[in-house]
Amino acid sequence: MSAPAREAYVDYHPGPADATAHFAEEAMRRAAGSPEAADGDRVSTSVSHIESPSVQIAWRLRMQEIGITLPLTTFFEAVQQPDPRTPKGQVDLVAWQYEGTQARPALGSPDPRAAQAVAAIAAQRYHLPTWADLAQSTAASFGSPWAQHLVATMLDPPPAPDHVHPLDWVPRVQVAAALVIAFGQEGYRTLYSLAIGPVDWVVDAAIVAIGELALRSPAVRPNAEPLLEWLCSQIPREGFTSYGYPLACTLLRLLAPHDPRRAEVMAWRDRILRGEEPGTTASGAIGVIDGLNMETYAEFCVRLEQIQMGGGGSVSQLAAEYGVPMIGGIHAYSTGWNEAINRDPRLGLAFAQTKARINLQMRGIDPDSDEARLSHNLMQGKGLDQEEEMRKAQAAHQQLAAGGGGDPDPVVFPGQAVAKLSDYVGLMKRMQTGDFNGALAAYGLNMGSYSQVMQAWGTKLGVDPTLNAKLGQMMAR
């Protein structure tokens, strides 16, 4: 997929753009750099108009990661009109309640089952249609009474995993929760209440979910389009309204190519991106640097490293595909992302972990699987329980001896050059004859792809004693 084809809120989440989010990002970095000095202190900032209170959720999660107590207080100089603190109509529930200009969650803690189900979706690489498929399956486990727990998860999410920064994690959890709500009982009604409720990233998530639901459910569409168009008229000219950019992107998904409204919405979106639309802008979205979000840049870096390891391909073609500039005619990288990663250790951790997950996915391994955990533990220098591994191996051999274990020649990596166990054995046996180059050529491999094949098979064999036992039998023939 080329960079221009990547669609905001579909192929990637741009991240928050509130001034308070940018302030929080910098303050988080300072606190992490001097946690002992920051612990017990206070941080405050002042902005012109009310912004998204979900910034406070991300702040709390990051302070918990650092292990310190450091309250963040935001002072707002004015309240824009329409008032972002109050619902724009009759609603069944609200996410936030205000005392003056200070917001607090309107719901208590969610049921852990709802929170973990949502987090399992939010931890995956962002791709809205894929998340929606997962959410639809998840929603089948939750009835109507669970809607409040799903909304509560938006306000009190589980801790962020290593591969996602808290400022990205909170909006991702909110989108994932909104998608689960969408496919539940009274899903559209709940999303409607959130969409016209107090302005926040929760509204952004509801809009994105409504758009996806409308594309999948023709009965919803006649209600969804007028709602989204009306929300355009509710954006104040002052301050910052977070839902402007996701609203423009969602409307463009719904409007037909020849719809006369499409050109107007596209022009509005472009003004937002250029920072020329009063009341909203996406030019400062935290999750996008040099036109790329972190997951896309991590994917680029993984593919670049594969080329550098002899995996084939052209650096210049790869750079053109992702929109990454060539430096000095031979190197390709994003100066903005590299500087951000080096400046913020937490972002650096998220980037490294995202690269590792993409690497596993490219090798056909689920990054949340036992194989991935083994790979991670070995990279961290954590040893295996030898007695437990021996017990598993003995049990696997007994299973095969009794005629069990399933297919003796399973397909482990479908569609890849070394897909079946017999392919792997054939590669190994030919190498044992000393014909290394012939073995690689027989399977269409080079040194770079050979290394990836060996890592992938080694990881699979490391966690599957039955596969290992089958390998032993096949190698002995």
The reply to whether 251 and 347 lie within a common domain is no
Which of 224, 256, 274 is the last residue before a domain boundary?
Answer: 274
How do the residues of the chain divide into helix, strand and coil, expressed in percent and rounded to 5?
60, 5, 35
Check whether residue 252 and residue 352 sit in a common domain.
no
Residue-level pLDDT at 417: 84
Do 148 and 194 sit in the same domain of this protein?
yes
Q: Are residues 246 and 105 in the same domain?
A: yes
Q: Pairing between strand 288-289 and 292-293?
A: antiparallel
CB 462 within 8 A of CB 374: yes
pLDDT value of residue 381: 52
- Claim to verify: residue 234 and residue 130 sit in the same structural domain: yes
Q: Are residues 140 and 230 in the same domain?
A: yes
Please indicate, yes or no, if residue 455 is contained in any of the structural domains: yes
**Same domain assignment for residues 108 and 226:** yes
Q: 321: domain range? A: 308-362
Predicted TM-score of the model (pTM): 0.82
Q: Is 21 inside a domain boundary?
A: no
User: Given the structure tokens 């003796």, which residue do they identify?
Assistant: 408
Asked, for residue 266, whether it belongs to a domain, the answer is: yes
Residues 11 and 151 occupy one common structural domain = yes
CB proximity list for 40: less than 8 A, separation 6 or greater: 68, 69, 70
Distance CA 469, CA 408 (A): 10
Gap between the Cα atoms of 294 and 445, Å rounded: 30
Q: What is the pLDDT of residue 448?
A: 67
Q: Is residue 281 part of a domain?
A: no
Q: Please report the pLDDT score of residue 371 as a whole number.
A: 66
Residues 143 and 257 in one domain: yes
What's the domain count of the chain? 3
Q: Quick check: is 112 in a domain?
A: yes
Question: If you search the block for the tokens 């935001």, which residue do you land on?
Answer: 74
Q: List, in sequence order, every residue forming a beta bridge with 72; answer none if it has no partner.
A: 43
Q: How many Å is the Cα radius of gyration of the chain?
A: 25
Q: What is the pLDDT of residue 1?
A: 41
Domain boundary among 252, 274, 296: 274
Are 225 and 131 in the same domain? yes
Q: Does a structural domain hold residue 268? A: yes
Are the beta carbons of 357 and 125 closer than 8 angstroms?
yes
Q: What angle do CA 349, 326, 315 make, to 5 degrees?
A: 80
Rounded Cα gap, residues 259 and 124, in angstroms: 34
Do the domain assignments include residue 185? yes
**Is 375 a domain residue?**
no
Same domain, 266 and 207: yes
Name residues of the chain where pLDDT drops below 70.
Answer: 1-5, 282-283, 371-390, 392-393, 396-397, 447-448, 451, 455, 462-463
270 and 197 in a single domain? The answer is yes
